[in-house]
Each structure stands twice: as C-alpha cells, then as structure tokens.
Amino acid sequence: MVSLPERSTSRNSPVADNFFTVGPIIRISPHELHISDPSFFDTLYRQEGIWHKYDWAVDAFAAKGAAIFTADHNLHKARRQPMNAFFSKSRVANHQVMIRKHLKKLTSRLSKLVESKEQFNFGAAVTALTTDVANDYILGKSYNSLEQQDFGVGLLIASRGGGKMWRLTKHVRFVAPTLRSIPMDWIIKIGDPATQTFFRLLQVILDVSPHQDYANIYDYLFRRPSKTLRDLWQQ
C-alpha cells in the first residue's frame, strides 16, 4: 500500500523529520510505503494498470460494500462504473448554477464576518461549502451547513477524527464492527457534539426518499437491484 502524508504533517512533526533526514519514501510497515513527493502523484493516481488496494488497511472501515473500500481492482472498477457518468466533465458543468449558488452564499457570509471582525473557523467554512455542494449533487438536497452559525464545525471535527479511528481499527479489528452494531439513536444521545452532528447527518441521508427520475447519484443507486440500504449507507 502506498499513502501520501496527511495535511497535518508539518516540518516539526516526527514524520516530517524522517522525510527531511531519510528521504521522500519511508517504509512504515512490511507492506506500506509513505511518500512525500508531488512528482509521484501521476504514478499513484492513474487509470492504467491493475492496482489492488491493501485489504488489511481498507477492511479496517468495516464497509466492504463501498466502492472506495473495495480492495480488488476489478471489483472496484465494477462498483465504480455505475457512478462514472455522474462525474463526467459535462455532467459537473451542468451543475454550475447550483455550485455558484452555494459559493455566493459562502462569500456573502465571509464578507459579513470580516466586516464584523468576528472570529470563525475558515476550515469549517470551506467544509460547509463542500458538504452543501456534495449533498445537493449526490442527494438532490442541501442541509444548509453554510447557514449554521459555526458552519457545522462539528462535522469537520468528526471527519478529522476518522483518521485516528482508522489507525486503531486496522490493528484492533473488532472495534469497527462493534461500533457499527450500536444503534444510531444511541450514538446521537451519548456522543460528544461533533459525533452527534456527524451521525445526525447520516441519519438524515438514510431518510432521503428517491425521486421519480434518476436526478442524482442516490436516486440511481437506490434503484439498482443489487444494492441494499446497507450498501447505500456504506457508499
């Protein structure tokens, strides 16, 4: 498995120190390489060839029904194929009005915050834009993260915690299935604010009803006979 360094890696971190002293490629386990070299991007992110993912790493998410966590190259390609059309340049270009609508909402809020000199989390603001655009495009419905007072910062915090959880579940394999077995309502009641925000969004997504036509990705996948609600949740 080959991975790129996390955005949080700074020159003062232990990982960054190794890159500066050893070189751009570090073996972090018998089957994993950690690479810090932009020139390698085209080699890693390409369509040619057969690239199997490291199953020990991707299985840690306990979401084998999701395309992104499919280790086998051919199976991943088959699962990804139904969604390809939704990410074509022409399809995305047709949604420029929707994207600009959310972007205008973001710039308007940022202008007001700058004028008032009120402090805010810029990372949360950008994440809110991404979330609203993605939900509008994938589900056909926006959940107005941009309109929340704190830009839904809890979702940003919960998402960043995913990396830490992944590093745990890779080694302690029963953790992810155990967490998946806990009813969502319980997690929302007992979780911290960030966790509650994340799982409330998941709950709302599961409650979305498909449209009569194939208006978005969710509508299309919902009607595929091989897809179950569990598969959709994992995707």
Residue 131 near residue 200, CB atoms below 8 Å: no
Domain ranges of the chain: 1-46, 87-234
Q: How far is CA 67 from CA 112, 117, 133, 164, in A?
A: 40, 43, 21, 21
Question: Rounded distance, CA 27 to CA 148, Å?
Answer: 43
**What pLDDT does 153 receive?**
84
Residue among 12, 8, 37, 24 nearest 163 (CA): 8
**What pLDDT does 13 receive?**
56
Give 126's pLDDT tier (boundaries 50, 70, 90).
very high
Rg of the chain over Cα atoms, rounded to whole angstroms, equals: 20
Q: Phi/psi class of residue 45: alpha, beta or left (left: φ > 0; alpha: ψ in -120 to 50)? A: beta
What are 122's two structure tokens? 């810029």
For 29-88, the pLDDT digits (tens) are: 787 788 888 888 887 777 788 888 888 888 887 777 788 888 899 998 888 887 787 788
Q: What is the number of alpha carbons within 13 Å of residue 8 lying toward its C-beta? A: 6
Question: Rounded distance, CA 138 to CA 216, Å?
Answer: 5
Q: Which of 52-56, 104-108, 186-190 ranks highest by mean pLDDT?
A: 104-108
The dihedral built from the CA positions of residue 208, 214, 220 and 222, taken in this order, carries a sign that is positive
Of the chain, the percentage scoring pLDDT greater than 90 comes to 16
Q: Which amino acid is at 123?
A: G
Q: Residue 28: helix, strand or coil by DSSP?
A: strand
Does position 11 have pLDDT exceeding 50, yes or no?
no
Who has greater pLDDT, 207 or 143? 143
Please, what is the average pLDDT of the chain?
Answer: 77
Give 6's pLDDT tier (boundaries 50, 70, 90).
very low
